[in-house]
Chain A
Amino acid sequence: MLKDVWNHRTLIWAFVKRDLKGRYIGSTIGFLWSVIQPLAMILIYAILFSKIMAQKIPGSTGLGSLSYVVYLCAGILPWMTMQDTFIRSCGIFIENASLIKKVAFPPVILVAYIVLVGFINLLIGFAVFFVVMLIASVKFGAFLFLLPVSLAIYLLFLFTFSLILATFHIFFRDTQQIVSLIMTVWFWATPIVYLPKIIPDNLKWIIEVNPANFLVNIFRDPIYANQFYHWREASVFLLSTILIFILGSAMFKKLRKHIPDEI
C-alpha cells in the first residue's frame, strides 16, 4: 500500500497542487488566501488574548504576554487540520467514484493526497504562526527542534485514521456525520482552549485517558512548554498509532477489492 503511494508520488503531487490551486481558482490573489486565513486567525487570537482580555498563564517564562496565544495555537492548529482532514477523508472515495470504478487506480492515493493537503496547510499555519510570534519577539525554547519529529508522528497518525475513516465511510455512509459530531464534542473534552488545571479533580481522569491530549502534547511540549515529550504518553501514542496503522492497512487490504463494487 505504501508502495502504491510511492509509485504514484507524481500523481499525488499533481492532485495536491490541483487541490491547493483549485480551492481559490478564479479569485484574484489565489493561493495567498491560504496564508491570509491562518494569519487572520492568529492575529485575532494574539490581539484578543494578549491585549484586550490579557490572558496570561502564570509561571511561563519567555513567552511574555503571548503565552496563552502560544498555548492555544500549539493545540488548535493541529486539531483543526485533523478535523478538516478526517471529514474530507470520509467523502473522498465517494467523490471520486468514477476514478476508482473506471480507471485502474489505487484508492489509497486519494487518501494520501487529502492528508498531504491538510499537512501542507498545517505547515503554512505554523509558518505564519512563527513569523507572527517572532515579530512579537516571543522567544521559543531550545526544545523547538523536536517539532519536525512531532510533525512526522502527526503525519502517520493523520494518514492512518484518514484511511480507516475513508474505507469505513464506503460501507457506512453515516460515518462522515458521526465523525464531525464526535470531533466537535472531543474538541471541548480536550484541553486546547482551556488549561488542564481548571478541570475539577474528580474529572481529571478524562484528560489522562484522552488520547487527543497526547496528540496535543507532542506539539505543546516543544512549542509551549519547552521540554522533552512526556515520554510515557508520547511513546504510547506513537506505538498505538503504528499498531493501528498496521491493523488499518490490513483491513484496507482486505476490503480493497470491495471498494469499486460498493461506491
Chain B
Amino acid sequence: MKSEEFAIELANIHKKFRIYGSPLSRLREWLTFGKLQTHYDFWALKNINLNISKGEAIGIIGENGSGKSTMLKIIAGTTWPTIGEVKTSGRISALLELGAGFHPDFSGAQNIYISARLIGLTDDEIKERFDDIVRFAELGRFIHSPVRTYSSGMYIRLGFAVAASVSPEILIVDEALSVGDDYYQKKSIDRIKKFREDGITVLFVSHAMPHITRFCDRAIWLREGIINAEGQAKDVVNEYQRYCYRHTYERLILAGKKDEAETLKPEEEPILQEQVWGSGKVKFTRVAILNGKGEETGSLDLGDDITVRQYYYAFEKIENPIFGLNIHTIQGVYIYGTNNHNIHPRKIDHIEGPGYIDFKIKNLILHKGKYFISVMVFDEPDDPYWQNPLDWHNQAYEFLVFSPSEAHGLVAFPGEWSKTHPEAECEMSGVPDQLDLENQWHFHFLDSGWYKLEKEDTGIAFSWSKDKGGFLLLQSPGKTVLELELRASHPDLKNNSVVVSVLMDDEKLGSIEINSIKWKKHILNVPSVKKYQIRRLTLIPDRIWKPQEQGLVGDKRSLGVGLHTAKFI
C-alpha cells in the first residue's frame, strides 16, 4: 500500500512524562541546570507503530491509564510524542471533550459561534451549518439561554452537535458516547455511522465493548503503553474481555474474597492463553462434531442432537479415566460442563493406545450463535478445579447453531403457552383479603389512580389517590363489613369535610365523611358471598386539593384521599 493511502501513520512513537515529586524539585533541577535530577520519567507510550488506512474505523481499548488518551491526543495534535513521528492527512475533528471552551454565561448560540471557530470552521461555514447544529442539539428555545442553565445532557448534545458539524476526514472520539442518555447515545452513534458510510476514518476509544465491535473493523489493545494485541475488532475485544475477567478474579483472590471470585469464571482462570496443555500421558488426536444424522459438521440446527467424538491416544494404560467436556459461548460464558465421573457417570475400565469416545447431547437447546467446546481427560477425580489434566484442549473446537426464529437469552428450552383461564379460583389469585400498605407488595394491588407509596414521619406507609383510586381485595364467605383506614389533608377540612364515595365492582356501597387529617377506620356493610370473590373497590372523593395552590411549589399533584389499610371483616 502506498503511504498516501494512510490517513494516520504512527512510527516508533514514545511519550514520556516527567513526574516531579513537588513543585520545588523542578525549581531545584532548573537552578542546578539539570545536574540534580529529581524527577522520574513515566513512559505513557512505548514503541507504537500503527498505520491506519483512509476510511478505516479503529477501536482503541485498554484499562484506564494504558495510554489510550495520550495516543489520541498525539494524533489529534494537542500534544507531541517524545520520540517518533506522526503523520496525518486530512482535517481532523477530535471529540476529546465535548463542549470544551463553552463560556457558561453565554447563550448556546453564541457558544456555537466561538466553539465552531475554535475547531477550525470559518465564519461562512458556521453560518451555513448553524441551523443544522441547532437542530441536532435539539435545544429549541433554550438555544438563546446561557449555557450554565443547561442540563448536562443539553450541554453535551450541543458540544457533540458542534464537533460533528465539521466535515472531518479523520474523526477521533474519546468516550464521547459514554455520557448522556440513551436517546443521545443512539443519535450520536447514528451520526458516527453516517461518518463511517461517508468513508471517514474513525478512531474510537470506548470502554463499551459493543460499540467497538459494532463500529470498528480493527481494534488495538493498549496495555501499559504498548500495543498488546491488534487485529479484528471482535477477536481483540474477546481477548481483552477474558483478560479483564481473569484480572478481576486474581484481584479478588488477592483481596481474600474467594467466594466472590468463584462466582466469576474460575474455570477460565489459569488456562486462557494456552489452548492446550496437560501431562501428556493421553493426547486427543482429533475432535469431530456430528449432527443428529451422524454427519460430521460444524453447524447444527436448534433442537438437533450433537455428538462430540473425541479421538485419543493413551501412551500408557490409564485405569478409570475421566473424560470431560465444556461448552462456552463466544463471549466466554461457561454454559455447560459434563464428565463421566459425577455428572453423567459411566465407568470406563481403562484406555490404552488409540480409540475414540462420544458424548451425545440430545435436543440442543442453544440459540443461534457460535459456541466453543473444550475437551479434557483426567486419570483421577480432581475436584474442584480439575487443574491437573492428562490433556486439555481449551475452547479449541467451535460449532455454529442456526435457529429459525428470533433468539432471546442464552438457551432455547422447549416450551408452550396455554390459553387464558378466566375461571381461575379467586383464593389462588394472590389478591389479599386485607390490604396494608406497610407491606410494600400490597401496593401492587392498587390501580393507576394512586400516587406512589409514601411514608409519614410516624412511619405509617400510605398512598394518595388521585381523583379516584381503585384497588383489589379478596372477599371470603362470611365477611360482610368493609373496613377502610383513611385520611384527608385538605387545608379547609375542619369546616368542610371530604365525602368519599365507595364503589364495589362499580356499584355504590356508600359514602364516608372525612373531617380529620388523622388516620381513622371507617366501616361499610357489603353483601355477603358464597365463595371467594375478588372485589374491585373504588374511592372517589368529592373534591381534591392541590398542594401547589397552598404554596407548596413544585408539588403538582392533585390529592384525593389517603389510604393506609383496607380489609373485609
Q: Indicate whether A and B interact.
A: yes
How far is the CB of B99 from the nearest CB of chain A, in Å? 9
Asked whether B103 lies within 8 Å of A18 as measured between CB atoms, the reply is yes
Q: Mark B64-92, 1 if CB is under 8 A from A, else 0.
A: 00000000010011111000000000001
Asked whether A261 lies within 8 Å of B17 as measured between CB atoms, the reply is yes
B97 at the interface (CB under 8 A from A): yes
When C-beta atoms are compared, the residue in chain A nearest to B97 turns out to be A102
CA distance A14 to B113 in the complex (A): 9
CA distance A21 to B23 in the complex (A): 36
CA distance A14 to B17 in the complex (A): 34
B288 at the interface (CB under 8 A from A): no
| Residues 13-66 of A at the B interface (beta carbon under 8 Å) | 14-15, 18, 22, 25-26
Interface 9-mer from B117-125, B227-235, B402-410, B491-499:
B117-125
Asked whether B78 lies within 8 Å of A101 as measured between CB atoms, the reply is yes
Asked whether A99 lies within 8 Å of B117 as measured between CB atoms, the reply is no
A198 at the interface (CB under 8 A from B): no
Q: Which size class do A's interface residues fall under?
A: 20 to 34
Q: A10-B123, A14-B113, A14-B117 are in contact. Are A103 and B80 (CB under 8 A)?
A: no
- Could you say which residues of chain B place their CB within 8 Å of the CB of A103? 78, 94, 96, 100-101, 118-119
- Could you say which residues of chain B place their CB within 8 Å of the CB of A22? 103, 105-106
When C-beta atoms are compared, the residue in chain A nearest to B17 turns out to be A261
How would you classify the secondary structure of chain A's contact residues: helix, strand, loop or mixed? helix
- Could you say which residues of chain A place their CB within 8 Å of the CB of B117? 10-11, 14
B244 at the interface (CB under 8 A from A): no
A204 at the interface (CB under 8 A from B): no
Partner of A105, one of B106, B118, B122: B118
Q: A26-B105, A102-B94, A260-B73 are in contact. Are A171 and B26 (CB under 8 A)?
A: yes
Q: A10-B123, A18-B106, A22-B106 are in contact. Are A99 and B100 (CB under 8 A)?
A: yes
A172 at the interface (CB under 8 A from B): yes
Question: Can you list 29 residue pairs at the A/B interface with Cβ under 8 Å?
Answer: A14-B113, A14-B117, A18-B106, A25-B105, A96-B101, A98-B101, A101-B73, A101-B79, A101-B96, A102-B73, A102-B97, A102-B100, A103-B78, A103-B96, A103-B101, A104-B76, A104-B78, A104-B92, A104-B94, A105-B78, A105-B118, A171-B26, A172-B27, A257-B79, A260-B73, A260-B78, A260-B79, A261-B17, A261-B79
| New A-B pairs, 13, CB < 8 Å, besides A10-B122, A102-B78 | A11-B117, A18-B106, A18-B110, A22-B106, A26-B105, A101-B79, A101-B96, A102-B100, A103-B94, A103-B101, A104-B92, A171-B26, A172-B27
Enumerate the 6 nearest inter-chain pairs by beta-carbon distance, A residue then B residue, closest first.
Answer: A102-B97, A104-B77, A102-B96, A260-B79, A98-B100, A257-B80
